[in-house]
């Protein structure tokens, strides 16, 4: 653990940059299929809800695998697991290139999900190990920059490559990306081993896994964080999967254009990351959560009901900025749920988040035929607003108790 108040070393900052590249790859893999759903439905002659399984099944496997990676990362080394998980994702992406049916594509997506599940939560947990508490949320924002850029890259490349070269090329892009990033991580991990790794990457004696899990679940604040993560996944990340399809079907935009516009969500998140230090100090965690969800709610209302596609451009930008104000606050709290079992705690949070995303994708796809995509998007934004108010108030009460 870095001493309180001490700046991060150059080597640690370099490792964080590589972890940011890994989280970029993981998030891009999650979002690469969003804009191509209408094309997959056409190519494999299935409904949009059926094609959406490439997103929902990915999220289910991703979420469940967290229960495996948390204790594994705590015992064998978080950075090490991230490295080999990234390389495995390259193998799964190669399998997706050659999928001859939707079932084979689903199998390849499961392979990628099994590896990608380790990357973001263990990167967050490793950062929580090496960053001093007063720098944690700001440092997580740097790691989160990769996650945010991954939304941009996934949405944009998924739509652009599907429209121009074909959907298989999108998975070729992911295979190359995972391979390069995995090799860079492997080189840095070997450097860490040669330089006598810090306590953040060295296995230590810990209580039994079951006892750690029970301790996390018995804590009321941990339950609040996990519940909030689940609903955020369903109403936020889950509904986000249909934004590009909404623009394509409601306004007749090409998949490339729709994917590019929704990629502005990631650009908005990037803008937040660049000013995160100032906003964290000015608003504090409760203020960030509350302000962020209000911005997201306004964006989803605009996207869902304004009958002009140009309005979706600022809406996606605003929505991304607000959503990541809220999500970064959630990440910081997740890393502090159980410092003695950080890998397990963060993996539980990620599991809740992506199981919620899976449910959200399925619900959104099924409700579109009844309510329309615009209403579903607005409902997702409204749910996040209510959730943000709940979490901000809970966070304020917790801070007041700590001060008292």
CATH assignment at residue 381: 1.20.1250.20
Rounded to whole angstroms, the Cα distance separating 341 from 216 reads 9
Q: Is 215 exposed, middle or buried (0-12, 13-18, 19+ CB in 10 A)?
A: middle
What's the pLDDT score for residue 343? 67
Q: Which residues of the chain have pLDDT under 50?
A: 1-4, 199-205
Instruction: Let me know if 52 is exposed, middle or buried by CB neighbors in 10 A (0-12, 13-18, 19+).
Output: buried
Whether 264 is in a domain gets the answer yes
Q: Which two tokens stand for residue 362?
A: 């399925």
**Position 202 in a domain:** no
Would 298 be classed as within a structural domain? Answer: yes
Q: Does any domain span residue 139? A: yes
Domain boundaries, position 339: 10-196+208-403
- Residue 256: how many CB atoms within 10 A of its CB? 20
Please report the pLDDT score of residue 3 as a whole number: 44
Count of domains for the chain = 1
Cα dist. 61→118, 275, 288, 301, 357 in Å? Answer: 11, 34, 31, 31, 11
Q: Would you say residue 128 lies in a domain?
A: yes
* pLDDT number for residue 403: 56
Say how far apart CA 87 and CA 118 lie, in whole Å: 12
Cβ-contact 85, 117 below 8 angstroms = yes
Burial 274-308 (b: 16+ CB within 10 A, else e): eebeebbeebebbbbbbbbbbbbbbbbbbbbeeee
pLDDT given at position 191: 83
Q: In the prediction, which pLDDT does 219 show?
A: 77
Query: Are 154 and 29 in contact, with CB atoms under 8 Å apart?
Result: yes
Position 294 in a domain? yes
Residue 5 lies in a domain: no
Query: Tokens standing for 239?
Result: 């509904």
Q: For the full predicted model, state whether its pTM sits above 0.85.
A: no
Assess if residue 203 is contained within a domain.
no
């Amino acid at each position: 653990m870095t001493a309180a108040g001490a700046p991060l070393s150059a080597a640690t900052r370099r490792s964080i940059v590589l972890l940011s590249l890994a989280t970029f790859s993981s998030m891009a893999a999650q979002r690469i299929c969003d804009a191509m759903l209408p094309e997959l439905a056409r190519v494999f002659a299935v409904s949009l809800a059926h094609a959406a399984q490439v997103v929902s099944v990915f999220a289910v496997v991703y979420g469940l695998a967290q229960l495996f990676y948390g204790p594994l990362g705590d015992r064998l080394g978080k950075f090490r697991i991230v490295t080999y998980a990234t390389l495995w994702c390259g193998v799964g992406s190669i399998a997706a290139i050659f999928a001859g049916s939707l079932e084979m594509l689903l199998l390849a997506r499961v392979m990628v999900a099994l590896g990608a599940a380790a990357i973001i939560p263990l990167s967050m947990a490793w950062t929580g190990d090496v960053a001093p508490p007063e720098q944690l949320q700001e440092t997580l924002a740097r790691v989160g920059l990769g996650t945010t850029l991954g939304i941009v890259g996934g949405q944009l490349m998924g739509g652009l490559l599907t429209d121009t070269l074909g959907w298989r090329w999108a998975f070729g892009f992911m295979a190359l990306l995972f391979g390069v990033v995995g090799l860079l991580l492997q080189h840095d991990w070997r450097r860490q081993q040669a330089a006598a790794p810090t306590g953040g990457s060295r296995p230590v004696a810990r209580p039994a896994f079951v006892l750690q899990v029970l301790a996390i679940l018995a804590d009321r604040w941990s339950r609040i964080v996990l519940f909030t993560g689940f609903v955020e996944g369903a109403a936020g990340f889950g509904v986000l999967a249909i934004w590009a399809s909404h623009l394509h079907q409601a306004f007749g935009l090409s998949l490339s254009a729709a994917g590019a516009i929704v990629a502005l969500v990631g650009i908005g998140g990037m803008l937040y990351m660049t000013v995160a230090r100032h906003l964290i100090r000015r608003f504090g965690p409760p203020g960030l959560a509350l302000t962020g969800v209000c911005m997201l709610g306004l964006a989803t209302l605009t996207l869902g009901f304004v009958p002009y596609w140009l309005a979706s451009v600022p809406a996606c930008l605003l929505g991304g900025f607000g959503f990541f104000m809220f999500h970064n606050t959630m990440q910081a709290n997740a890393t502090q749920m159980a410092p003695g079992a950080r890998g397990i705690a963060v993996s539980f949070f990620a599991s809740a988040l992506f199981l919620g995303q899976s449910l959200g994708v399925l619900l959104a796809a099924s409700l579109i035929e009844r309510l329309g995509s615009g209403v579903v998007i607005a409902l997702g934004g409204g749910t996040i607003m209510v959730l943000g108010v709940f979490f901000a108030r809970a966070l304020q009460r917790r801070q007041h108790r700590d001060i008292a």
